[in-house]
Structure 1
Amino acid sequence: MIDLTELYVEIDDFCRKFCDDLNQHLVGNGKTIAVDTPGLNLSEVLTILIYYHFSKFDCLKHYYLIKMRAGYKKEFPKLPLYNRFVERIKEVWWLAALYLQYRQVKFSGMGYIDSTPLKVSHNKRTNSHKVFKFVATLGKSSMGWFYGFKLHIICDLTGNIIKCNITHGAANDLKTGKEMMKDLNGKIFADKGYIGKKEFLELLNKGLILVTGIKKKMKNRLLEMWDKVLLKKRSLIESIFNVMKNSLHLEHSRHRSVINAGVYYITTVIAYTWKPNKPAVKFNSKEIKLLQSLSLMN
């Protein structure tokens, strides 16, 4: 469990600094953007939302009523009723998005890319679903058909988030991944869903090598030995998705607002960046010896 005070201090410092910098460049009738608002300030609202993902509650309402209003009344003396708090969530979507960018790490030269489905309802209720009627779509993953969105992530070898994106369920992984990888230089390892000769050459010309496996009917191609080892470690990003879904409550079907759902997804990824023990690539003794021999040869 992370420290609530430490979380709030960093979020509050970030929000105040960003708003101060933004206000210096605003041109208009003298209005400014302020963190302090009546009742809870924006930093407190964002902190409560992020801290929820570390709780054992699988329902935001129960967490707010039992954990926050009963257990953290001293820390948050101006906690409103739950319905009012839900209304306040819409006010922090832009701060949550900016803070997520702040928490992302720089690309070190090697990483993984993949996507995971975010289901918003059962497939049988797709036609009757109303909340995401005009934004969610029917998509297909390795686990079958689903109705909702996709979370795309690029991570490094130590499990840190480099970039992320949320698209509709039918979005093409390769096209979305190409847009996310266009400013990176180095190597990205991906599954067979990211195979594309045109996209590979375009990324290669920009300084990025996209390493994927091959399909059954494709001609075999030579890979460096170390690339083969790292390609087999692609399960790292699956472990990240597993942590987000099973530990941080990323996916559920109780959303009643498109904007609030977006904030929920963003704060889940932010919560993951705060986890002290993230999944990371681990090498066995044979792989370590191989790495040492390759380094000696170079």
Structure 2
Amino acid sequence: MDSLTELFCLIDDFCCQFEPALERRLLETGVKKRKRCSGLSLSELMTLTVLFHQLRFRQFKSFYLVYVCRHLQAEFPKLPSYQRCVELLPRCVAPLAALFEMLKGQCDGISIADATAIAVCDNRRIARHRVFADSARRGKTSMGWFYGFKLHAIINSRGELIRLRLTAGNVDDRKPMPDLCQGLFGQLFADKGYLAQWLTEALDQQNLQLITPLRKNMRPVPRTRFEKVILRRRSLIETVFDELKNLCQIEHTRHRSLFNFIVNLMAGIVAYCLSDNKPTLNLTRVNSLAKA
């Protein structure tokens, strides 16, 4: 997105369809509730959350007080206090998740899967951490132990996110894959952590071929030159994770609410989906290397 106006128009058009559909599906308890409209509309609030990640700010407080309140008063004339804005953020959870479903990429037959750790506190503070005590768990990756969640992702050859799943940090990378791969086709490339006979068979039943490197004690499996080249370039998804964490700021340890953690995560993912410069596989070069 090149401008704030384009971003707001995209989100506002989405909210015009999403909010009435959501109202029709909400369950009634019979208890009358006040439905006061806030100064910020849902589309304005979502625009601010996504803009925060697009502008690469490190803290939402400095973004809101220093940038938004000083420079965007004309665009957002009814800005509430910072504390009130933070209280409103949980309203964005469902809309941001639905917006990702609209913006996500499509399977093109070449998919790459992996999972990354989303730490919610420093390891030295695990014992006294309370915000995510009921949901976060200790997990271990090749980089060491962490406390938090895992983001399981599948991308296509254009670097677009096509599937996402958030689990506790102690969940095996392979466990969510059968459900996550529903509707995909072609070939799925992954690392050795996804080696499992049951997973290969489950994906075969979905017409999806799982291709991973082999361990030293395993029998050789015939691979085409094209498959070998793609396997060497499956680190593309690590580049996507790097952009999500270091540019879109989906990971930090200052959360005080589970809902606001989800808002921060999904807003960063939406900001990535709207990015024009995603890391991609150069399939022309891949084909030339495969023929060499």
Letter in 1 for 2:155: C
Given the two structures, how large is their TM-score scaled by the length of structure 1?
0.91
Compare 168-177 and 16-25 and name the one that shifted more. Answer: 16-25
Given the two structures, how large is their TM-score scaled by the length of structure 2?
0.93
Instruction: Spell out the pairing of 1:192-203 with structure 2 (5 A cutoff).
Output: 192-203=192-203
| Contact 1:2/1:274, CA 8 A, preserved across alignment | no
| Contact 1:112/1:188, CA 8 A, preserved across alignment | yes
Following the alignment from structure 2 to structure 1, what is the Cα–Cα distance between the partners of residues 210 and 233?
Answer: 15
Higher relative CO (CA 8 A, sep ≥ 6), structure 1 or 2?
Answer: 2
CA RMSD of aligned residues (A): 2.1
In the alignment, which residue of structure 1 is the partner of 2:275?
275
In the alignment, which residue of structure 1 is the partner of 2:288?
289
Could you say what secondary structure the match of 1:174 adopts?
Answer: coil
Instruction: Spell out the pairing of 1:171-182 with structure 2 (5 A cutoff).
Output: 171-182=171-182
Could you say what secondary structure the match of 1:78 adopts?
Answer: coil
The alpha carbon displacement at 1:38 in A equals 2.2
Following the alignment from structure 1 to structure 2, what is the Cα–Cα distance between the partners of residues 207 and 135?
Answer: 34
Deviations 1:177-219 (A, max 9, x none): 2220133121110001111101101110220001111112222
| Contact 1:2/1:275, CA 8 A, preserved across alignment | no
Could you say what secondary structure the match of 1:209 adopts?
Answer: strand
| Contact 2:229/2:289, CA 8 A, preserved across alignment | no
| Contact 2:159/2:237, CA 8 A, preserved across alignment | yes
Structure 2: gaps (5+ residues): none
Instruction: Spell out the pairing of 1:23-62 with structure 2 (5 A cutoff).
Output: 23=23, 37-62=37-62
Letter in 2 for 1:42: L
| Aligned pairs, number | 289
Following the alignment from structure 2 to structure 1, what is the Cα–Cα distance between the partners of residues 215 and 2?
Answer: 43
CA distance 1:24–1:61, shift in 2 (3 Å): closer
Compare 234-243 and 210-219 and name the one that shifted more. Answer: 210-219
In the alignment, which residue of structure 2 is the partner of 1:151?
151
Could you say what secondary structure the match of 1:126 adopts?
Answer: helix
The alpha carbon displacement at 1:283 in A equals 5.7
Could you say what secondary structure the match of 1:121 adopts?
Answer: coil
Following the alignment from structure 1 to structure 2, what is the Cα–Cα distance between the partners of residues 26 and 251?
Answer: 31
Deviations 1:266-297 (A, max 9, x none): 11111100111000113685x44355x59xxx
Compare 171-180 and 63-72 and name the one that shifted more. Answer: 171-180
Following the alignment from structure 1 to structure 2, what is the Cα–Cα distance between the partners of residues 113 and 181?
Answer: 10
In the alignment, which residue of structure 2 is the partner of 1:114?
114
